Every structure is written in structure tokens, then in C-alpha cells.
Amino acid sequence: MIFKQLLEPVSSSYTYLLGCEQTGQAVLIDPVVNSIDRDLQVIHSLGLKIAYTVDTHIHADHITAALELKKRVESKIAAPAFDRLPCVDFGMEEGRPLQVGSITLTGLHTPGHTDGHFAYLVGERIFTGDALLIDGCGRTDFQNGNAEALYGSVTHKLFALPGETLVYPAHDYTGRHVSSIAQEKARNPRLGVGKSLEEFQRIMATLNLPYPKFIDYAVPGNKGCGICPTTLPDELEKYCRPMGESRQG
């Protein structure tokens, strides 16, 4: 399998490219609308064609490129069936993997960051979305987030995978790229080292995080599989403007 980890720097999001060497088909996990051109360039340079985009959840910090890629390269859209988005072509459910060439994406329902959140297992890799980050996890204070549910998703479902399973998160804010289930069990300060549900709930209840600055645009946009608002405040335009495009000149 061809594998690339692509960073979208505005929201520090990772997009993952999986390519089938036999059929030339590719899957993009969590593509971001403002990095479409860069992603397509990478895909074309590898001689691949996107068959599916697959989102882990309805993101609150960026807009998915799913719809725009469907328009531009006719890729199909996969996302958790739980969210019942009418724009989705393939609803991911547990027990119903997505097959693209030789690539099998097995969905694991991992609610807590959002109620419909899915992680995807592909061979030795688990794409954990915002359920499990390196030394951290997604917040649980909006979009039907729920600390108790996230604790169960991570400690019962993700931590049950073999220790060597590679953890590829949807974000990292300090330049880390990869971890493993064993590593997160051993040292995740929120969920590892045998943290109890009560300890985790206390940590999540006292994070005092600011209201996400793009959420009021991102969530409705992502419920449409990636619709950028027609107007955005100047300081938020970077979330929809193609990466590298300048407003000068």
C-alpha cells in the first residue's frame, strides 16, 4: 500500500493518503478543503486516482474537501452512517468495511468527541481522528461530546488493539506524526497509565478551552460534506482559501 501523511497547517490537520498499487485507486482520510490543490498534486504525482474520501467525523475546525473533490475528480464520499448526512455515498458502520482495491477500511464507532465519530483500521494502522491524539484526545464539550463515551471508546475499543498498532491522529499541534497503541496506553496523560473514568472526566471538565473560532462555519459546512460559506470574516478566510494562494496582486 502506498501511504502518505499530509499536513494542513491552518488547523494542524493530518490528511492520510492510502493508495492501492494494484488498481491505482486511492482513499483520502480527512481531506481539508484549503489543501485540495496540494493533495491532488501529490495524488497525481503517484499516478493514483481518488476513489473515496472518508471522514472520521463532522469536524469543527476545518471544512472537509469531500464535496469539492467529488466535483473535481468524481471521488465518492464515505462518512459515519450515524450522522445520516444526505450527501454521503457510503455510510461507514461497524461490520461493514469499505473496500477500495486491496485496501480495507474497517470502521470502529468511537463516540465521545462527537457522537458519530469513527476511527478506521487499515492493516497495522489505526486512524484515530479526534478520539485519540498523541499524548492527548479531542475535546468533549461540544457537538454531543461526552467524556464518559470517549473514555469507553479509547480504553475499551482502541486500547484493545495490538500494542504495535500505529496510531495516526487527525491532528498534532507540536509536529509529532505517529504513535502506537502501546505508547498511548503507557503514557497518554489523559487516558493512559490506567487513568480512571473519574480522573478523565475531571481532566476534561477543567480544560477551560476557548470557544472554537471556526466551529459556527465548519459544522454546517461539513454537514453538507464540505460547503464553504460564501462570505467569511477576513481572519477566517484562510480556512477556505486554497493553501498557498495569496490575496496580494
Contacts with its own copies by CB under 8 A lie at: 3-5, 124, 163-164, 166, 174-180, 182-183, 186-187
Judge whether 28 and 65 are in contact, CB under 8 Å: yes
Comparison of 5 and 104: residue with beta carbon closer to its own copies: 5
Comparison of 42 and 51: residue with beta carbon closer to its own copies: 42
| Coil vs helix vs strand at 163 | coil
H/E stretch holding 179 reads strand 179-180
**Rounded least distance, CB 163 to its own copies, Å:** 7
**Rounded least distance, CB 242 to its own copies, Å:** 22
**Rounded least distance, CB 180 to its own copies, Å:** 5
Query: Per the structure block, which three cell numbers stand in for 170?
Result: 487527525
Of 113, 142, 136, 124, give the one whose Cα is nearest residue 55: 113
Q: Which residues contact 123 (CB under 8 A, 6 or more apart)?
A: 1, 104
Judge whether 163 and 187 are in contact, CB under 8 Å: no
Comparison of 143 and 180: residue with beta carbon closer to its own copies: 180
**Rounded least distance, CB 174 to its own copies, Å:** 7
Comparison of 1 and 236: residue with beta carbon closer to its own copies: 1
